[in-house]
Amino acid sequence: MAEAATMEEARAWEAAAAVPDPEVPCVTVADLGILRWVRIENGAAVAGVTPTYSGCPATLAIEFAIEQALREAGFEARVERVMSPPWTTDWITEEGREKLRDYGIAPPVESGGKATLFGAPTVACPRCGATDTERLSEFGSTPCKAHYRCRSCAEPFDYFKCL
């Protein structure tokens, strides 16, 4: 019985983990580290999801998408919002960081906080790899990104902010 539940959990995890981020579709919710766990409770699949940024408008869309993916895999589904511990960009997997780079988004350099308060981190260009880059705008197209430009290959690019 326990083993069956575990297998079902694994199957539910796979279904939920494959859901892409609506704003950055090159990475999945598992790559980003925002899908925390999937459990089978009383026959239903329950997914624990942590929001990225407090005001991220995609949070609700992500929760709906995960619920839908679980239903399509044949589960009764529910999503629980997990606030603690808070998500940090350190939870993005190695694979996720690689996918971001391939997609043209520079992955976060280091954990945010006081250390980066009055200085910008060194961000490598996702196209050519040069570190001679400059910040154009501290805020970008979504709450999780800033806008940069590469001085070496002249390519403008998004940078996934460190938090």
Partner 1 sequence: MALFEALLELADDHLVLGHRVSEWCGHAPMLEEDLALPNMALDLIGSARSLYTYAGEVEGAGRDEDALAYLRDETDYRNCLLVERPNGDFAQTMLRQFYFAAFMEPYWKAALESPDETVRGIAGKAVKEMAYHIRHSGEWVIRLGDGTEESARRMAEAVEELHRYTDELFHTSEAASGVAALPDRAAMRPEWDRVIGDIFAEAKLTIPEVRFPQQGGREMRHGEALGHMLAEMQVTHRAHPGAVW
Give the whole-angstrom CA distance, residue 93 versus residue 97. 6
Closest CA to 59 of 26, 34, 38: 34
Between 150 and 162, CB nearer to partner 1: 162
**Shortest Å, Cβ 25 to partner 1:** 20
Answer yes or no: are the C-beta atoms of 126 and 110 closer than 8 Å.
Answer: no
Between 113 and 129, CB nearer to partner 1: 113
Q: β-strands 156-160, 105-106: how paired?
A: parallel
**Shortest Å, Cβ 56 to partner 1:** 7
Between 20 and 143, CB nearer to partner 1: 143
CA 59 to chain centre: 11
**Shortest Å, Cβ 149 to partner 1:** 13
**Shortest Å, Cβ 100 to partner 1:** 19
**Shortest Å, Cβ 146 to partner 1:** 10
Q: Hey, which bits of 59-144 come out as E strands? A: 76-81, 105-106, 133-137
Between 57 and 129, CB nearer to partner 1: 57
Between 94 and 118, CB nearer to partner 1: 118
DSSP letters of 43-62?
TEEEEEE--SSTT-THHHHH
The binding site for partner 1 (CB under 8 A) comprises 51, 53-57, 60, 83-88, 112-114, 116-118, 136-141, 143, 147, 161, 163
